Amino acid sequence: MANRFEQLAAPGIRRLSPYVPGKPPEQLERELGIRDSIKLASNENPLGPGPLARAALTGAIAGVGLYPDGSGHELRTRLAAMHGVSPGQVTLGNGSNDILVLLAETFLTPEREAVYSQYAFAVYPIAVQAAGAGACVAKAHGPDHRMPLGHDPAALLAQVGPKTRLMFIANPNNPTGTWLDEHELDVLLRAMPPEVIVVLDEAYHEYSVGAGVPDGTHWLGRHPNLVVVRTFSKAYGLAGLRVGYALSDPDVADLLNRVRQPFNVSVPGLAAAAAALDDRAHLEATIALNRDGLARLREGLSALGLRVAPSAANFVLVDLGRSAAAVNDALQRQGVIVRPLANYGLPNHLRITTGTAAQNERLLAAMAKALAAPA
């Protein structure tokens, strides 16, 4: 049915397809009449929040009748100290997704362009198109590269032109799990014109430590046009609270804060995020669980004859060598939700989040049955 108000909307909005999140277990169970499903589709932390964050949430209930601190002073101060920057370099977001949209709203117009890789996070093209800007998509590495389907720095740089204002780089990348190493990233940043804002999306940074993925914050002092974006949704287990942040030059942060909504992070979100920074034990347990999960999924899926890309995040990209639709359907009928990637132009691939040890084993058993089922 046609939308009666379609022609009243901005051109970029008229052509926009909304982001489709991972299917909730409740929805799958309603649709199929099953119980006890597991969700390994949205790169959430299977441990959830740590005990300090949970305690902070309980304490924050008393304050939800009042608006939150619009500046997020305590959390911004804590983040600034952790990263060795000033509070004026920190911008808070309603999840890192909010920061990505703020950047597009701040720096893009219909006369400008943004650059991102072929298989980059789906929010980048949505934010660019909503701003009415042009999108320059860099061809990714091929499937046989050491970083299959990952960012090609030379291809990214080749897309930069006089209209370019933003470049989005996820490191490690979602949905591939691949990454740029320190040398590749350094060369790319040095080659970037100063009028191009480089958005380094490090949503999976905590998982990538020790895997050869550089810490982008180390370049902030050298490159005023660099913005590093992080989130509490992944390793900190606070996806439902929506808390993210950006680190940037103070002048960039000033512009972002002109656009940012004044109460974009809630009272519980601010409290839980600040407490999560103190819960080193929970973070280390999360990282250890993920490290073991990645190894087990890689081993088990490879044993089933599937190609698994290297990953420095909390998920694996799996090439089934055939359309993933039937396999995904068979997994769902067993109560296992993963992420099909046809919307990324990868119809033969699934993205699978690491879970608990029991969830990983259930996924592998379900995958074996799904692969054996008639197509």
Structure tokens at 33: 């009449």
**Predicted pLDDT at 331:** 97
**Predicted pLDDT at 210:** 86
Determine, yes or no, domain membership for 1: no
pLDDT digits (tens, 9 = 90+) for 220-236: 999 999 999 999 999 99
Residues with Cβ within 8 Å of 110's Cβ and at least 6 positions away in sequence, in order, are 12, 131, 132, 133, 134
Whether 139 has a pLDDT exceeding 90, the answer reads yes
Whether 90 has a pLDDT exceeding 70, the answer reads yes
Determine, yes or no, domain membership for 225: yes
236 and 298 part of one domain: no
pLDDT digits (tens, 9 = 90+) for 314-372: 999 999 999 999 999 999 999 999 999 999 999 999 999 999 999 999 999 999 999 99
92 and 230 part of one domain: yes
Asked if residue 175 has a cis previous peptide bond (ω within 30° of 0), the answer is: yes
264 and 288 part of one domain: no
Range of the domain at 89: 53-276
Whether 214 has a pLDDT exceeding 70, the answer reads yes
- Picking from 43, 80, 26, the residue whose alpha carbon sits closest to that of residue 335 is 26
Distance set, CA 235 to CA 43, 103, 285, 313 (Å): 9, 23, 10, 10
Whether 375 has a pLDDT exceeding 70, the answer reads no
Determine, yes or no, domain membership for 214: yes
**Domain boundary pick from 221, 243, 276:** 276
pLDDT digits (tens, 9 = 90+) for 153-200: 999 999 999 999 999 999 999 999 999 999 999 999 999 999 999 999
**Domain boundary pick from 243, 276, 309:** 276
Whether 212 has a pLDDT exceeding 80, the answer reads yes
202 and 301 part of one domain: no
**Domain boundary pick from 276, 304, 338:** 276
Contact 269, 50 (CB under 8 A): no
Whether 15 has a pLDDT exceeding 90, the answer reads no
Of the pLDDT bands very low, low, confident and very high (cuts 50, 70, 90), residue 283 is very high
Of the pLDDT bands very low, low, confident and very high (cuts 50, 70, 90), residue 256 is very high
Question: Residue 113's domain is classified under what CATH number?
Answer: 3.40.640.10
Indicate the pTM of the whole model: 0.94
Whether 265 has a pLDDT exceeding 90, the answer reads yes
Determine, yes or no, domain membership for 305: yes
Could you give the 3-state DSSP secondary structure of residue 237? coil
Question: Residue 19's domain is classified under what CATH number?
Answer: 3.90.1150.10
Whether 16 has a pLDDT exceeding 80, the answer reads no
Mean of the per-residue pLDDT values for the chain? 95
* More confident call, 6 vs 250: 250
Number of domains in the chain: 2
Of the pLDDT bands very low, low, confident and very high (cuts 50, 70, 90), residue 78 is very high
**Predicted pLDDT at 22:** 76
Determine, yes or no, domain membership for 112: yes
Distance set, CA 68 to CA 233, 266, 276 (Å): 19, 6, 18
132 and 264 part of one domain: yes
- Picking from 258, 183, 196, the residue whose alpha carbon sits closest to that of residue 227 is 196
169 and 88 part of one domain: yes
